[in-house]
Amino acid sequence: MAKLPLEGVRVIDLTVVWAGPFATALLGDLGAEVIRVESLQRWDTNNRMMTPAVADIVKHTPDADPAAPQWEVSGNHGSVNRSKKSVTMDLTRPEGREVFYRLVRESDIFVENNGPEVVQHLGVDYDTLRQHNPKLIMISMAGFGAYGPYHRFRAYGANMEAIVGHALLRGYADRDPTSNSNVFFADACGGATGAFALLAALHYRNRTGKGQFIDMSQAENVAHTFSQAFMDYSMNGRVQGTRGNRDFSRAPQGVFPCLGEDRWLTISVGTDDEFHGLCHVMGRPDLAVDERFADALSRYRNHDAIDAEIAAWSVSQEHYDAFHALQAAGVPCSPVLDVSEVATDPQLWARGMFQKLTHPYLGTHHYLKPSISNMSETPLQYWRHAATLGEHNEYVYKELLGYSDEEYRWFVENGHAGTKFLNARSGSETPQRVLQQQQQQQQQQQ
């Protein structure tokens, strides 16, 4: 096979939660060597989250290990830390920091999205690191960027999106925002654009030899995605609100109940032809000639009436069957899939989007391949399962950084290089652990 696009590029990953790890995952998909740095002193439950109980995994997965440590079975870690290597060092001590500086000298890119001023406190800020490697490219993917009145704000995606307008533009049109469930769309966007920023900087360095620092505000990045509302205010001073599942230029558009528990179909009709296709599949030629639904504007004005007609039909339909029948008639629509249906969807299987992988603790599963996989010369995939904690300590310390066996032993004995979190026992008993489990149960109620 041809060489992967980013073969030979080394990335240090000191990221947390979702957005940062997604950026480095995309670089890893493209063939960069991504080395994820963690410390044994700090079990990052913000990243190693969405963690089913090991007992439930074993029940579901014949070859899973019942003795798997809880920190190795996070669904977030298992997906977004795909294809990365894992090394441990304690950056709060000078010896650990020295290991990190050595790693910086051997690397091209450093990615972080920690809380405000964490890299400064750890001595791994850009001004320090550029002394060790002037060609280094570093990105800080902060919620609100590296300067400005909110630069010390603590925010997850949901908080950032509130501040730049998303929360008021989504959710049910007939309810207030307190009925909005939490979403973290900013994380997805932050990771995607963060990876792009690094590729742009790599190209610049290829041309000029210069590294640089990238100041990313995830809030500003996601603000681009509310374009219509942003530009409407910019041009007309109009403040838009949510339209729920409806659309100004497409009617009828909505989500309709189907056969089975919690099964739904979306329909999004934009033209008269599409509307006639819908009426035909519903077996309701009368609606196609009904004055109330004669054109897009009248359908928009009589949206509730047409919705009632569609729902009366859809409620006795299987969502996948209705999807195929309507699409065959040229009507944009889809089933609302839950993850179990995504996992068996014929289109994704036909496209080879599932990859069977065996993890030493988790056993064998079909992972959804990276969405950028389909490249003709260098098809991409999970190059390996998410690394176990410290799995690549010997490779990084000895092979890459040249520490002797004796020196490496010192790092093992002094709580830098290891494969277990040192706070794991207490971690399993604190409110933090209980809270985490509770949140997982809420997110994953059977």
Partner 1 sequence: VNGEEENTSPLAGVRVIDLTHHIAGPNATKLLADYGADVIKIERPDGGDPARRMAPFLRDEPHIEKSGLFLHLNTNKRSVTLDLKTNGGRALLLDLVRDADILVESFAPRVMPSLGLSYETVREVNTRIVMTSLSNFGQSGPYRDYKMTELTLYALGGTMHSTGTPDREPVKLALTVEQFFAGMITATATMGAYLGAQAHGAGQHVDLSLFEMIAGNQDRAVQAHTVFQYAGTIAQRAGGGGGRNVLPSGVYPVADGYVQFFALQPIWDRFCRMIDREDLIEEEYFTRPDHFSGNATVKAEVDAILYEWLLPRTKREVMEKAQSAGYFCGAINSMEDVFNDPHLAAREFFAEVDHPVAGTLRYPGPPFKMTESPWRAGRAPLLGEHTLEVLGELGYSAGDVTRLREQGVL
Q: Which of residues 241-300 bind partner 1 (CB under 8 A)?
A: 242, 244-245, 247-250, 253-257, 262, 264, 266, 268, 270
Extract the tokens encoding 378. Answer: 């260098």
Q: Nearer to partner 1 by C-beta: 98 or 341?
A: 341
Q: Nearer to partner 1 by C-beta: 312 or 435?
A: 435
Q: Which residues pair with 366 in a beta bridge?
A: 356
Q: Which one of 89, 111, 197, 401 is in contact with partner 1 (CB under 8 A)?
A: 197
Subset of 327-386 contacting partner 1 (CB under 8 A): 327, 330-343, 345-348, 350-351, 353, 362, 365-378
> Under a CB-based contact definition with an 8 Å cutoff, are residues 95 and 407 in contact?
no
Q: Nearer to partner 1 by C-beta: 172 or 410?
A: 172
Q: Is 426 in the site for partner 1 (CB under 8 A)?
A: no
Contacts with partner 1, 138-167, as mask; x by CB under 8 A: -x----xx-xxxx-xxxxxxxxxxxxxxxx
Q: Considering only the stretches 55-63, 117-125, 286-294, 413-421, report the one whose residues sit in contact with partner 1 under the rule CB under 8 A.
A: 55-63
Q: Is 210 in the site for partner 1 (CB under 8 A)?
A: yes
> Under a CB-based contact definition with an 8 Å cutoff, are residues 164 and 220 in contact?
yes
DSSP secondary structure of 179-215: GPPP--HHHHHHHHHHHHHHHHHHHHHHHH---EEEE
**DSSP class of 169:** H
Q: Which one of 57, 91, 103, 109 is in contact with partner 1 (CB under 8 A)?
A: 57
Q: How far apart are CA 197 and CA 188, in angstroms?
A: 14
Subset of 223-242 contacting partner 1 (CB under 8 A): 223-236, 238-240, 242
Extract the tokens encoding 222. Answer: 């996601």
Q: Nearer to partner 1 by C-beta: 146 or 294?
A: 146
Q: Which one of 39, 217, 317, 388 is in contact with partner 1 (CB under 8 A)?
A: 217
Collapsed DSSP state (helix, strand, coil) of residue 395: helix
Q: Which one of 202, 251, 306, 310 is in contact with partner 1 (CB under 8 A)?
A: 202
Q: Which one of 65, 220, 318, 407 is in contact with partner 1 (CB under 8 A)?
A: 220
Subset of 383-422 contacting partner 1 (CB under 8 A): none
DSSP secondary structure of 45-90: TTTS-S---HHHHHHH-TT--TT--GGG--HHHHHHTTT-EEEE--
Subset of 92-131 contacting partner 1 (CB under 8 A): none
> Under a CB-based contact definition with an 8 Å cutoff, are residues 194 and 25 in contact?
no
Q: Nearer to partner 1 by C-beta: 164 or 389?
A: 164
CB of 446 to partner 1, least distance (A): 6
Q: Which residues contact 408 (CB under 8 A, 6 or more apart)?
A: 393, 394, 397, 398, 417
Residue 257 has, within 13 A of its CA and on its CB side, a CA count of: 10
CB of 31 to partner 1, least distance (A): 8
CA dihedral 366, 372, 373, 374 (to 10 degrees): 130
Q: Considering only the stretches 97-105, 285-293, 399-407, 434-442, report the one whose residues sit in contact with partner 1 under the rule CB under 8 A.
A: 434-442
> Under a CB-based contact definition with an 8 Å cutoff, are residues 216 and 15 in contact?
no
Contacts with partner 1, 25-54, as mask; x by CB under 8 A: -x---xx-------------xx--xx-xx-
